[in-house]
Structure 1
Amino acid sequence: MANANHNPNGLISYGPNENCTLTPGPSYCPAKVGVYEYRPSLAANSVFITLFGVALITHLVLGIRYKTWAFLFAIFWGCASEMIGYGGRVLMWGNPFSFTGFLMQIICITLGPAFYSAAIYLTLSKIIIFLGPQHARFSPKLYYWVFIPCDILSLILQAVGGALSSVSSGSSAAAVDVAIAGLSFQVFTLCVFIALGIEFSVRYIRAQRSQPRKTPLPTSFKIFVAFLSLSITCILIRCAYRIDELSDGYDGPLIHNEPLFIGLEGVMSVLAVYALVVAHPGPVFGRSDANMYESDVTAPSGGRTEKVEPGISATQQSV
């Protein structure tokens, strides 16, 4: 570990047997001999805990209202993981040598955005059904049957990497390699997802040239897609940063740069989860148990019957 050989009086600054403290006395160690070489910011980490807590409550309300249980499950555990992780960094503010705090944040903060990715994967099939399954290369269900297992695999790899770090007291290069493999696979999966989403968009646009929709796409749907894209972009930026951060293990320069961590990990994750508040599938696609996948939906309007596009109400189409 970084600085392991520079601890005063032979004290241990990292691992399950750490005995350094910031308290003046025989066990005193400066923060610079800790794994991060700094005390995590109390203010920044407290703000992140609050923001993820508010996001969790907001998604909980939306999920219950629209009964989007799978989407809610993914977002709930993503926000909960983030809160626990930043709680670990608060512990490290009090004691930058806290091995418990380090494990809490290295595991939970790493895992959080993978849950957001899972929530995003669930929405592609809804978009395809809404715009027209005939434009897709594959069955809508196939998208989440492929991408969700891939996301679970990336979660497992990242969790195993964190677990190996705890067993080895952070000295295992294999632990870092496994974590990087999980992050890299998450990026790969996201890129394939984006590629298929773009391909579907191209096929849909081409089809509209010969046979345009009877009604224009509602503004609410366009906003939904824009913020979904923003969330995906933020997660990609965050994952690319974490791969680079861990590329040199716990001795690399990026892992000792807190402002960069705050901006490219914390801020990107916050933007991703709040973008998914706007890009929540409930308001656009309705309740998960509603019969919203019919090719046409008959809705009364002022004493007459009219056809509306699948997936949204007649009121939403007028937006």
Structure 2
Amino acid sequence: MSSNQWDVCTFTTCSIKQSIFQYRPSLAANSVFIALFGLSLIIHVFEGVFYKQKTFAMLMSLGCICEMIGYGGRILMWKDPWGFNGFIIQIVCITIAPVFMTAAIYVTLYRSIMKLSPSSAAFKPAFYYQIFVPCDIVALVLQSVGGAMSSQSSGSSQAGVNIGLAGLSFQVLTLLIFIALGCQYTLRYRADAKLGRASMSSLDGRFKWVFGMVSFATLLIFIRCVYRIYELSNGYHGAALHDEGLFIGLESIMIILATFILNMGHPGMVFSPKYQQSHAADVTAEMSDSGVSTEKVKH
């Protein structure tokens, strides 16, 4: 069925197979995801205040809010599977939401490098947010423009789909390069530590936990982005767009897990002023007890 016929359909006049998704989105599942993203949002706001991490909290909050609006759009489609407004709300908001989350992750890697060993980075540490965050913005703009073009054409614009796909592809490429550079830094840091060119004093159990959680969240978002490229590869009429189970498994679950993982491994656990002061004091005390000059800790 063509997109201009969707508006005249109702449950009594059309088959659900003639709707945009060819299924009726699950009210229960979408309501649960709204509640879960709402819960994660509350936790991120609390953690942002508690740990004094405003930037991370703001970016994660924007991501969660976009997700909630997007799943609200899917509930509109439960009420009216042929309604294009609900479709555009969900396709735009759910698509762009992880962009804010990856921006938070990019800034976190920069801060991690500055804390561990800036000299071990292959590039100037600021590169990790000065390049990747603008790349995130480019991906966001492309995906938003693609969604806007689709809304104006009621889904008939292939150009809108292509621009949205370009945004998703650019996001995947950016994430892939980011992951590669993150792995490269880890190897260089460990090599420098073995040679005595970098200190391992900051790499305590808490930092390893946070770094592991952030890395896991990054992987989940990457998997999700690859899936979205596959989902939209044949436009709004492809088979992947009509598979709700696949959407829930590779979109919804991937992103909700990532948001809660970033709650559990919140960067504020190692970057909050209170923790950094107490950790520095502990390291200084340990070095003093072992007879090592505290001047070495500073350098």
TM-score (norm 1): 0.85
2:115/2:202 contact within 8 Å kept = no
**Please, which of 10, 21, 26 is the counterpart of residue 21 of structure 1?**
10
Shift of 1:134: 1.1
User: Residue type of the partner of 1:248?
Assistant: N
Shift of 1:297: 4.2
User: Residue type of the partner of 1:258?
Assistant: E
Residue identity over aligned pairs, in percent, reads: 47
Over the aligned positions, Cα root-mean-square deviation in angstroms equals 2.4
User: Residue type of the partner of 1:208?
Assistant: A
Q: For 2:90 and 2:16, locate their aligned partners in 1 and report how far apart those are by CA, in whole Å.
A: 17
In structure 1, what is the equivalent of residue 218 of structure 2?
232
Gaps of 5+ in 1: 6-10, 311-319
In the TM superposition, what are the counterparts of 1:38-57 in structure 2 within 5 Å? 38-57=23-42
User: Residue type of the partner of 1:180?
Assistant: L
Shift of 1:246: 0.5
Q: Say which SS state the counterpart of residue 20 (structure 1) adopts.
A: coil
Shift of 1:61: 0.2
Shift of 1:83: 0.2
User: Residue type of the partner of 2:29?
Assistant: A
Q: For 2:194 and 2:23, locate their aligned partners in 1 and report how far apart those are by CA, in whole Å.
A: 58
**Please, which of 163, 167, 171 is the counterpart of residue 178 of structure 1?**
163
**Please, which of 119, 122, 136 is the counterpart of residue 134 of structure 1?**
119
In structure 2, what is the equivalent of residue 261 of structure 1?
247
Deviations 1:133-182 (A, max 9, x none): 11112222221111111001100000001000011110111111101100
My pick for the range that moved more, 140-149 or 214-223, is: 214-223
Query: Residue 68 and residue 145 in structure 1: after superposition, are their counterparts in 2 closer, same or farther (change >3 A)?
Result: same
Q: For 2:203 and 2:176, locate their aligned partners in 1 and report how far apart those are by CA, in whole Å.
A: 26
In structure 2, what is the equivalent of residue 218 of structure 1?
204
Number of aligned residue pairs: give it: 290
Gaps of 5+ in 2: none
In structure 1, what is the equivalent of residue 235 of structure 2?
249
Q: For 1:157 and 1:216, locate their aligned partners in 2 and report how far apart those are by CA, in whole Å.
A: 39
- Is 2:12 the partner of 1:12? no
In structure 2, what is the equivalent of residue 313 of structure 1?
none
- Is 2:73 the partner of 1:88? yes
Deviations 1:232-282 (A, max 9, x none): 111111000000110100111100000000000000011111111122111
Shift of 1:21: 1.7
Shift of 1:94: 0.9
2:38/2:68 contact within 8 Å kept = yes
Shift of 1:301: 6.1
Q: Say which SS state the counterpart of residue 5 (structure 2) adopts.
A: coil
**Please, which of 275, 280, 284 is the counterpart of residue 261 of structure 2?**
275
User: Residue type of the partner of 1:4?
Assistant: S
In structure 1, what is the equivalent of residue 133 of structure 2?
148
User: Residue type of the partner of 2:118?
Assistant: P
**Please, which of 168, 171, 176 is the counterpart of residue 191 of structure 1?**
176
Q: For 2:118 and 2:147, locate their aligned partners in 1 and report how far apart those are by CA, in whole Å.
A: 40
Query: Residue 199 and residue 48 in structure 1: after superposition, are their counterparts in 2 closer, same or farther (change >3 A)?
Result: same
In the TM superposition, what are the counterparts of 1:31-42 in structure 2 within 5 Å? 31-42=16-27
2:116/2:199 contact within 8 Å kept = no
User: Residue type of the partner of 1:144?
Assistant: Y
User: Residue type of the partner of 2:231?
Assistant: E
Deviations 1:60-96 (A, max 9, x none): 0001112211111110110000000000001111110
1:228/1:279 contact within 8 Å kept = yes
**Please, which of 114, 120, 123 is the counterpart of residue 105 of structure 2?**
120
TM-score (norm 2): 0.90
Q: For 2:39 and 2:156, locate their aligned partners in 1 and report how far apart those are by CA, in whole Å.
A: 36
